[in-house]
Chain A
């Protein structure tokens, strides 16, 4: 793809030979992806060396398959979003690939030591996750192909928002038999597999939030009363905020899940803040959430019933070792895993992460922490930060308000989710059943988060594309679709673009 004589918009080198065309940086992305594949391959080899005692002749198969999958993602971006940020895809690929390799490592731990070297490559949670990765990347590519302009989403804002609310509430109204796993009612259990609709709902809700707030931002930010030096909004404008707050409390109480509740609410408050530039929204939001959480805690202590779960979690958080064999068991084992890893970790494949309960899903971060240590976890956190900041950068670069809000919300969601789960498993905040984005086993989470990345890439592409020129060359050479087009962007430029 690189050194071609004919100038082509698909190629980075072409940009050099033709000054009119700015860098697409697609080759940077390819280089970073190759680096990611090297890391994953080395990780796989070390895992086998430690866990099976030998590096088998098939250790490279799963990393190679991942390389193929991410390669497909890269080609899709090259064609469908050529100006997208080159760091986003490799960062996600690294985390996702590490998740697959770690699940494979847990599969190895599941069989007796002498048979580990013979464990088939095409079995187990690792391979299933690999399959989901393929589906998710293809899903993201299809999304890129369908949504050629992110602004077109705003046309369906109400439909998407309503769908989101329905998805959130389905598990709450379903009988526990069809929706509860480990006490949290977050799932729809179908024969053969389960779906976590909340993972998709957060994207749909975000479309609606962004649309609604772009429409309402004038009135929300201008009409206000000043109190204690802070501008507070008018009472009537609080309506939708209170509605979302109630919804998140309902999630907390009826789906017994603090994490998801915190996600929705944090998401809304932050988009509200970005839209209105009013700190008061953050203060109100934080106050409402903390107030609600405290209320739920004390109601759980005194009344019990639906609030009991939350107060129990809070008690466990405050003193996990107080009930280390029962309620505090998961958190205690997670902390012991992290502590055992220490600074450098035991090395991939050399620890005993399977001693941590739910290590494939909620606790995958502590499982990894035992083997890659504080150094490895810090590197992983840095990759997440990189991803979030590149997403926020895309939000800053894009020219339209809807895109800014949407991309900002998507990025923040990702960061918040990592914070909620990693904070939970390391006893920073009460533990809640969240998946670790791209890392945990589970199709719903992986597909939803890749769709999120697809949208971020789309917005990033829009923001970095040279203004006024060069429509993206898509499959079959079709120019950018969607409602607006370049002139609209130029019109918004003077007020919106701050580089």
Chain B
């Protein structure tokens, strides 16, 4: 009976080897997947064992903090500036809700488990210090963000919603990002799970949609701001066309072979039959750009110029390029065709050329268009995380600016600058409220129709240069602001850009 007993021993060995192999699979191969699984409530408690890293602006103002609680979840995420930075940061709630935006993107680093912190963790092991989360430093300029938030919130038209994006044209660094209405992220980061959920539901069901980030995650008809793209397409297609070239204008434009459709100007009398291109942009002459779109450029070239500026593609942040947790969306040009055979529809092209019809743009895209013109035709990829800082304040990583694309030549860029300066500096310019003493300010207003019953959107996209060098670009959007919306947007743009220049001591 000894031989079978030995074989039973072998069987037991095999059974235990299976256990051993399976445990290897569970505890090594699947370990990371299990550790970070959303059903694993340990991760959360462990995350809250030590203070989560801070998020701060360019000057170190703390925007997201960790407050000691004395409970089992030891630290509470707080947002001292509440609504102002909600859309920049996202929020970090307790499970089962999930983090959003930068809080989600940088979660590992804030918790202290990122690969980038391996050296820091080892150092702490030797020095015997508690492991700690790292800090995330943003490109946001406090003065610019404050001004944008205040000015947009206190707009004279009492528009309830809108957005501001300001960026550094030469790097793509986001200087301000505001979306209104906003919300207090502290309502969602509370450890009272049921309250957090109730607050979320309240915000989510609010008809004003405060959770939407109108600055980067929503698109709206750009109206006349799109004429910059139309101008760029026209001047690129025909190099003889300059800002001083005389082009046909008039009170009405009727595309050829179309009887029941016409484009007219916002105001009668501003647009004579013959007008220079620069003047046409200065007074925002619809008939000039509609005609140019249909007769000189065509749907294909108009579309491809818009795409060269970034339409149809998400302008994802550098640090967020792979995941897009910040929810950046693509602007769109729409089809510009009619009928089942998809032939080009001249009325559609005419309307698209002045930023109506199916054309939709995000405020971020607007700021990027202005920045591209200011930066001599070179478009930078936007980013909002400047540096990742270890808990000992050494730098773990910092963002290198990246050129995204070059949609226009330096010559065309200079000509566009010239035209956009005129919009602000000319006495009859639509954007004159954006003027800033001591800086060269250029831009373009936009008034976009938003359906039959709704008030028009007001837009301004623009930039400021000092001695020809780009300082800041901006896009201001006032949703359904009504009459005077674009002038108010221009005024807010001026305030925002001035705030940045003042903070930097340029002027």
Q: How far is the CB of A50 from chain B (nearest CB, A)?
A: 12
Structural contact, B23 and A426, CB atoms closer than 8 A: yes
Q: Which of B2, B16, B27, B37 contacts A498 (CB 8 A)?
A: B2
Q: How many residues of A contact B (CB 8 A)?
A: 54
Cα–Cα, bound, A404→B8 (Å):
12
Q: Which of B1, B30, B33 contacts A405 (CB 8 A)?
A: B1
Structural contact, A342 and B31, CB atoms closer than 8 A: yes
Q: Which of A277, A339, A369, A381 contacts B16 (CB 8 A)?
A: A381
Identify which of residues 1-35 in chain B touch chain A, using a CB-to-CB cut-off of 8 Å: 1-6, 8-9, 11-13, 15-16, 18-20, 22-24, 26-28, 30-35
Is A284 part of the contact surface with B, judged by Cβ < 8 Å?
A: no
- Which secondary structure dominates where chain B touches chain A? helix
Q: How far is the CB of B116 from chain A (nearest CB, A)?
A: 20
Q: Which of A277, A339, A351, A408 contacts B34 (CB 8 A)?
A: A339
Cα–Cα, bound, A293→B27 (Å):
29
Q: Which of A324, A352, A418 contacts B42 (CB 8 A)?
A: A352
Residues of B with C-beta under 8 A to A405: 1
Is B324 part of the contact surface with A, judged by Cβ < 8 Å?
A: no
Given contact pairs A336-B37, A389-B9, A342 touches B19 in the complex (Cβ within 8 A): no
Residues of B with C-beta under 8 A to A408: 1, 5, 8
Is A427 part of the contact surface with B, judged by Cβ < 8 Å?
A: yes
Tell me the nearest residue of chain A to B74, going by C-beta: A113
Structural contact, A374 and B5, CB atoms closer than 8 A: no
Residues of A with C-beta under 8 A to B39: 321, 324-325, 332-333, 336
Q: Which of B3, B19, B34, B35 contacts A381 (CB 8 A)?
A: B19
Cα–Cα, bound, A1→B33 (Å):
54
Structural contact, A392 and B9, CB atoms closer than 8 A: yes
Binds B, one of A133-141, A151-159, A268-276, A466-474: A268-276
Residues of A with C-beta under 8 A to B42: 336-337, 340, 351-352, 355, 370
Cα–Cα, bound, A324→B15 (Å):
28
Q: How far is the CB of A26 from chain B (nearest CB, A)?
A: 25
Cα–Cα, bound, A384→B35 (Å):
28
Residues of A with C-beta under 8 A to B27: 338-339, 341-343, 369, 373-374, 377
Structural contact, B2 and A396, CB atoms closer than 8 A: yes
Residues of A with C-beta under 8 A to B9: 388-389, 392
**Interchain pairs with CB closer than 8 A, number:** 138
Is B304 part of the contact surface with A, judged by Cβ < 8 Å?
A: no
Given contact pairs A355-B42, A381-B20, A385-B12, A339 touches B1 in the complex (Cβ within 8 A): no
Residues of B with C-beta under 8 A to A404: 1-2, 5
Is A415 part of the contact surface with B, judged by Cβ < 8 Å?
A: yes
Residues of A with C-beta under 8 A to B31: 339-343
Is A422 part of the contact surface with B, judged by Cβ < 8 Å?
A: yes
Given contact pairs A374-B24, A392-B9, A426-B22, A275 touches B1 in the complex (Cβ within 8 A): yes
Is A32 part of the contact surface with B, judged by Cβ < 8 Å?
A: no
Q: How far is the CB of A333 from chain B (nearest CB, A)?
A: 7
Cα–Cα, bound, A373→B28 (Å):
10
Structural contact, A415 and B16, CB atoms closer than 8 A: yes
Cα–Cα, bound, A17→B388 (Å):
73
Structural contact, B8 and A340, CB atoms closer than 8 A: no
Given contact pairs A340-B34, A498-B2, A388 touches B23 in the complex (Cβ within 8 A): no
Is B504 part of the contact surface with A, judged by Cβ < 8 Å?
A: no
Identify which of residues 27-76 in chain A touch chain B, using a CB-to-CB cut-off of 8 Å: none
Is B41 part of the contact surface with A, judged by Cβ < 8 Å?
A: yes
Structural contact, B23 and A338, CB atoms closer than 8 A: yes
Structural contact, B19 and A340, CB atoms closer than 8 A: no
Tell me the nearest residue of chain B to A377, going by C-beta: B23
Structural contact, B16 and A338, CB atoms closer than 8 A: no
Is A121 part of the contact surface with B, judged by Cβ < 8 Å?
A: no
Residues of B with C-beta under 8 A to A324: 39
Residues of A with C-beta under 8 A to B41: 352, 355
Listed in ascending order, the chain B residues whose CB lies under 8 Å from chain A are 1-6, 8-9, 11-13, 15-16, 18-20, 22-24, 26-28, 30-35, 37, 39-43, 45-46, 72
Considering the complex of A and B, which 8 residue pairs feature the smallest CB-CB distances, nearest first?
A: A339-B34, A374-B27, A415-B12, A336-B40, A342-B31, A428-B22, A498-B2, A419-B15
Can you list 22 A-B contacts with CB-CB less than 8 angstroms, sorted by A residue number?
A: A113-B72, A273-B8, A274-B4, A274-B8, A277-B1, A337-B42, A338-B27, A339-B27, A339-B30, A339-B31, A340-B35, A340-B43, A342-B35, A370-B42, A374-B23, A381-B19, A389-B13, A412-B8, A416-B15, A426-B22, A426-B23, A426-B26
